[in-house]
Amino acid sequence: MGKEDLVSNNPLRALGLEKEDGNDGRRVGLVMARAGLGKTAILVQIAMDSMLRENKVLHVAIGEGLEKTKTWYDDILSLMNHQDKSIGSYQQIVDEVMQNRMIMTFKENSFSVATLEERMEDLSQQGIFKADCLVIDGFDFAGAGSAAALGELKSFMKQNDLKMIWFSAVSHRDDNRVSANGVPAPCHEVDDIFDTVLLISPEKDEIRLKTLKCSEACSVDAGKSLSLDPATMLIKKA
Amino acid sequence: MSVDLSNVRNIGISAHIDSGKTTLTERILFYTDRIHAIHDVRGKDGVGAKMDSMELERERGITIQSAATYCNWKGNNINIIDTPGHVDFTVEVERALRVLDGAVLILCSVGGVQSQSITVNRQMDRYNVPRISFINKCDRTGANPERVTRQLQDKLGLNAHMLQLPIGLENDLAGVVDLVTMKALYFDGDNGEIIREEEIPAELQDAADAKREELLDAVSMFSDDLMEAMLEETEITSDMVKAAVRAGTLALEFSPVFIGSAYKNKAVQPLLDAVEYYLPCPTDVENIGLDLDKNEEEFPVSNNDDDPLVMLAFKLEDGRYGQLTYVRTYQGRLTKGDTIYNVRTGKKVKVGRLVRMHSDDMEDIDSCGSGDIVALFGVDCASGDTFTDGKITCSMSSMHIPEPVISLAILPVDNKAQINMSKALNRFTKEDPTFKTFVDHETNETIISGMGELHLEVYVERMKREYNAEVEVGAPQVAYRETISARAEFNYTHKKQTGGSGQFGRVAGYMEPLEEGEYEFEDKIVGGAIPREFISSCDKGFAKSLAKGTLCGSPVTGVRCVINDGSFHAVDSSDVAFQLAAAGAFREGYAKAKPKIMEPIMKVAVEGPSEFQGSVMGSINQRRGMIIGTTEEGNYTVVEAEVPLSEMFGYSTALRSLTQGKAEFTMEFASFKPVPKSVSEELVKKYQDEKKEK
């Protein structure tokens, strides 16, 4: 068993995300949860899924260190390997897959879309890394200028030839505002930007990954939910 | 006479290169009356820092060997090891941390947490060393201790909090506010030796109150008394805060941060106080020994002078009067004239002279007790050996020794140099386990290998200066390795019948890749196909074959050899015959086992202004490097990558010219990975050509 099996056995298949980064458009996704519930773990699983399918993923971590972000990938991949003992030459797969990833970390006050664009252009022009997908963890949706930046998202994606961007956002227990689709604040007013919105929600003894909004490409209907393993934050196989 | 161990501190000083470790140590020695004048690290005054006793260290302004010293601060005996910051000398740091109870991590107030700080912090984690941080160089332009404290939290994951606030920064640095006593401290006199305590300046009062509140919140969980006082809003004494900080530090759950400028003689004395208050004494730390009489059962050493002696030799040096062995005593007492027992070699040796080291000076002492760090004369041993008084057979756990990644050929210029070179190499390999040497029998060249270009450069220089051994040096070579990637069968018969007694042996079985470890041998022979007495000969034959692979002549690792069949001859079979048969079997199997060449991959971190980020990444990309990621903070960026060592030669020059000298890089060994096909073909061709030439 090798990389291909890792792709087809991936529990993320249940979300049908492979169609999201297909050729039929540029998709924007969002993972929401209250602080500390595992948004990064889900983003990394989405990134990993894309990397395993030979997409180049640029992981932008705002307010998080490089080592910590890298450790997320190492841990998730090692957990996937643990779950599936039959994976062939593990180290070889790791080396191969990690070539499809680059991490950029910014301090909260150092990040701007303009800087990101400049860095991406630099990487692409020198032939170092041309991202297909972007994962942005820690974007401040409540911050000044965020609405303007999100408004230009589609043209930004087109300009950089990106198939997919996934964001994470923190929701707050004491803020009850939601959009018609059920997307909580602070993203309730911009939910039309997102094709897919996932919400991590603790329920009794388990953690659910709810699909609040889903593009037509996605195989899960809005309102459906998947179960997460609370120990590993991996999506449980049905 | 027994020393009260609660007054003993064994501490290390570690940091990124050029953070001011040696300058700080120099000030510590001055304030504790060990030296009576302060000298510059780079030796501008012709003297040089006390702890950089090696001529080379003074010239380059870096610490190469860790130096031990001893001082007394307010009745506390402090043993200090000043350790090198350059990763090539990492074993020195490792050794120091193994025997120390606590450490001071020094950071530059401008550079902050740099790559080597991360490495050193990881090493401290590995040995569970409680640490305090000192943010040095607060007089420099751009100093920002708050930012560095945040980096300690973010990058190193430490629960770090400032115990002081600066009074002014950069050129205006005047002193510090102590957040425990809530007093302002100023350092007067020509060398900052007079401490003036005053009320906190009015303009800093609010900031100090807020910071103290933050500090109390952070440490209250380590002390019930403090927590209670906070909840009941009763008086919070300095002693309560100190006790809480100490408890958190010893539990490795809190890391106090101090600030100052060693160069400007500001706030070094409060750091010494902090060593006393917050770092552990030998009895606060549990050190584990392995009882060899009980199948290496772990036991905590007692730190009791009355118990049998246990001590660890952690560093050897060729002193002016012969071999000097640095030891840390874990329990028992050693007196001059005692006979001690080397657990590894089983040899007994009499301790003729016992000294306390003060860099390259020494003081004779009559005895030492538990928790002490001293040096012995005339004791022949290797670094890492355990000594006892013979009443107990135990060993202290071994130290982590990294594999060398770079080698170069050296050629003595004449006969005299040849003799001196042998002496030097013999000494260096004993002193430093990361430095290795051997003679390549095909080329007759002496090869030295180590952790980096600077590492080997320093040894070649030391050969010339200390041993008068002039050598010609070849170009640095990467220490490649070979391994196999598939299982392969072998069935080889060694048969020789050319007069006299013949040689016969047949060895059959298979070899397969070994995930972890270098080599394994398994005997699955049934029915005596190979007699018992020749099984070890087969093992030897395989093991010898590992020395040189057939692709590029590098050592072979990661191979498991299994024998399951064979045959012998009653007269002609011998140890030699089976060794040769195994060697033949290895050659046969190896060729079929898809051998590949592995190269050392280095973890490289380049730090510099963000404007050069693109050029830096381009330069790494050109060198077959894989960029892991970038960290951007203001105008400063760190690019982390994994790059083959073979591509890193001359990188410092290239980086300097790319970034106008504004960026710097560090690298350390990460792993061995297969070389790309094109490189592999090149290496194989080069090796074949070299073989043809011989």
Inter-chain residue contact B629 with A123, CB threshold 8 Å: no
Greatest pairwise CA separation for chain B in angstroms: 102
* CB proximity A145 to B under 8 Å: no
Q: Which residue has the higher pLDDT, B155 or B212?
A: B212
Which residues on B lie below 8 Å from A104 (Cβ)?
629-630, 632
Enumerate residues 6+ apart whose C-beta is below 8 A from B687.
Answer: B551, B552, B553
Q: Which residue has the higher pLDDT, B543 or B610?
A: B543
Which residues on A lie below 8 Å from B673 (Cβ)?
95
Over 90: is that where the pLDDT of B522 sits?
yes
Tell me, which fold does domain B597-678 have in CATH? Answer: Alpha-Beta Plaits (3.30.70)
b/e for B363-393, b at 16 or more Cβ within 10 A?
A: eebebbbbbbbbbbbebebebbbbbbbeebb
For the record, the structure tokens of B446 come out as: 């002496």
Which residues on A lie below 8 Å from B117 (Cβ)?
none
Instruction: Report the C-alpha gap between B598 and B682 in whole angstroms.
Output: 13
Which of the residues B631, B635, B637 would you substitute to probe the A interface, choosing the one with the greatest number of A C-beta atoms within 10 Å?
B631
Residue-range domain boundaries for chain B: 5-278, 287-396, 406-479, 482-593, 597-678
Q: What is the mean pLDDT of residues B461-471?
A: 88
Q: How confident is the model at residue B616 (pLDDT cuts 50, 70, 90)?
A: very high
For the record, the structure tokens of B13 come out as: 């000083």
Q: Which of B335, B320, B319 is nearest to B2 (CA)?
A: B335
* Architecture of the CATH domain B406-479: 2-Layer Sandwich (3.30)
Inter-chain residue contact A110 with B628, CB threshold 8 Å: no
Over 60: is that where the pLDDT of B42 sits?
no
* CB proximity B634 to A under 8 Å: yes
Q: What is the mean pLDDT of residues B207-223?
A: 91
For the record, the structure tokens of B290 come out as: 């392995």
Among A70, A102, A106, select the one facing B632 at the smallest CB separation.
A106
Among B621, B626, B629, select the one facing A126 at the smallest CB separation.
B621
For chain B, the residue count is 694
Inter-chain residue contact B629 with A126, CB threshold 8 Å: no
- Any idea what DSSP says for residue B112? B
pLDDT of residue B488: 94
Which residues on B lie below 8 Å from A106 (Cβ)?
631-633
Q: What is the mean pLDDT of residues B463-489?
A: 89
* Residue B354 and residue B376 in contact, taking contact as beta carbons nearer than 8 Å: yes
Q: Which of B654, B652, B665 is nearest to B116 (CA)?
A: B665
b/e for B248-260, b at 16 or more Cβ within 10 A?
A: bbbeeebbbbbbb
Per-residue pLDDT tens over the stretch B338-376: 899 988 788 888 888 888 776 556 788 888 888 888 888
Determine the distance in angstroms separating the CA of A84 from the nearest CA of chain B, rounded to an integer: 18
Q: What are phi and psi of B39, to 5 degrees?
A: -120, 155
Q: Which residue has the higher pLDDT, A191 or B34?
A: A191
* CB proximity B122 to A under 8 Å: no
pLDDT of residue A6: 67
Binding residue per annotation — B139? Answer: yes
Distance between terminal CA atoms of chain A? 21
- Report the residue of chain B nearest A96, measured CA to CA: B626
* Residue B50 and residue B359 in contact, taking contact as beta carbons nearer than 8 Å: yes
- Any idea what DSSP says for residue B404? P
Burial of B576 (0-12, 13-18, 19+ CB in 10 A): middle
**Same topology between domain B406-479 and domain B597-678:** yes
Q: Given the DSSP bridges, would you call strands A206-213 and A225-228 parallel, antiparallel or unpaired? A: antiparallel
pLDDT of residue B588: 95
Options 2.40.10.10, 2.40.30.10, 2.30.30.280, 3.90.1710.10; CATH of B287-396: 2.40.30.10
Alpha carbon of B361 to those of B17, B177, B190, B357: distances in Å? Answer: 25, 37, 26, 6
Q: How far is CA B191 from the centre of its chain?
A: 33
Which residues on B lie below 8 Å from A99 (Cβ)?
626
Instruction: Report the C-alpha gap between B457 and B463 in whole angstroms.
Output: 10
Q: What is the mean pLDDT of residues B470-492?
A: 90
* Residue B614 and residue A124 in contact, taking contact as beta carbons nearer than 8 Å: no
For the record, the structure tokens of B491 come out as: 């069935």
Inter-chain residue contact B629 with A106, CB threshold 8 Å: no
Among A65, A109, A110, select the one facing B155 at the smallest CB separation.
A65
Q: Which residue has the higher pLDDT, A203 or B590?
A: B590
- Report the residue of chain A nearest B625, measured CA to CA: A128
Q: What are phi and psi of B31, to 5 degrees?
A: -70, -20
DSSP characters over A150-195: HHTHHHHHHHTT-SEEEEEEE--TT---B-TT-PBTTSTTSGGG-S
Over 50: is that where the pLDDT of B43 sits?
no
* CB proximity B55 to A under 8 Å: no
Q: What is the mean pLDDT of residues B664-688?
A: 88
Over 90: is that where the pLDDT of B538 sits?
yes
Which residues on B lie below 8 Å from A103 (Cβ)?
628-630
- Report the residue of chain B nearest A109, measured CA to CA: B634
DSSP characters over A208-238: EEEEEE--TT-SSPTT-EEEE-TTT-PBPP-
Does residue A186 have a cis bond before it (omega within 30 degrees)?
yes
pLDDT of residue A129: 92
Instruction: Report the C-alpha gap between A93 and A3 in whole angstroms.
Output: 7
Enumerate residues 6+ apart whose C-beta is below 8 A from B471.
Answer: B410, B411, B412, B413, B417, B421, B460, B463, B464
Helix (H) or strand (E) holding A46: helix A39-52
pLDDT of residue B298: 81
pTM of the model: 0.67
The answer for A 58-77 residues in CB contact with B (under 8 A) is 59, 65-70
- Any idea what DSSP says for residue B261? B
In one-letter notation, the amino acid at residue B478 is V
Give the percent of chain B with pLDDT over 90.
32
Instruction: Report the C-alpha gap between B417 and B425 in whole angstroms.
Output: 12
Q: Given the DSSP bridges, would you call strands B131-136 and B160-162 parallel, antiparallel or unpaired? A: unpaired
Enumerate residues 6+ apart whose C-beta is below 8 A from B412.
Answer: B418, B420, B421, B446, B469, B470, B471, B472
Determine the distance in angstroms separating the CA of B157 from the nearest CA of chain A, rounded to an integer: 9
pLDDT of residue B55: 57
Instruction: Report the C-alpha gap between B562 and B187 in whole angstroms.
Output: 71
Binding residue per annotation — B483? Answer: no
**Per-residue confidence of chain A (238 residues) as pLDDT tens digits?**
566 666 666 666 666 666 655 555 678 889 999 888 888 988 998 898 889 888 999 999 998 888 889 989 988 888 777 665 555 567 778 888 889 999 999 988 778 888 898 899 889 988 899 999 999 999 988 877 777 778 777 788 888 889 889 999 998 888 888 888 888 888 888 888 888 888 988 887 788 888 888 776 665 666 677 787 777 777 776 5
Q: How confident is the model at residue B53 (pLDDT cuts 50, 70, 90)?
A: very low
Q: What is the mean pLDDT of residues B616-625?
A: 92
Assess if CATH 3.40.50.300 describes domain B482-593.
Answer: no
* CB proximity B613 to A under 8 Å: yes
Rounded mean pLDDT of chain B? 84
For the record, the structure tokens of B375 come out as: 């040096």
- Other Cβ atoms less than 10 A from the Cβ of B191: the count is 14
Q: Which residue has the higher pLDDT, A178 or B17?
A: A178
Binding residue per annotation — B368? Answer: no
* CB proximity B154 to A under 8 Å: yes
Which superfamily, per CATH, for B5-278? P-loop containing nucleotide triphosphate hydrolases (3.40.50.300)
Q: Which residue has the higher pLDDT, B565 or B87?
A: B565
Inter-chain residue contact A128 with B617, CB threshold 8 Å: yes
Q: What is the mean pLDDT of residues B531-551?
A: 92
Binding residue per annotation — B392? Answer: no
In one-letter notation, the amino acid at residue A211 is T
b/e for A71-87, b at 16 or more Cβ within 10 A?
A: ebbeebbebbeeeeeeb
Which of the residues A118, A123, A129 would you substitute to probe the B interface, choosing the one with the greatest number of B C-beta atoms within 10 Å?
A123
Instruction: Report the C-alpha gap between A119 and B169 in whole angstroms.
Output: 33
Q: What is the mean pLDDT of residues B602-628?
A: 90
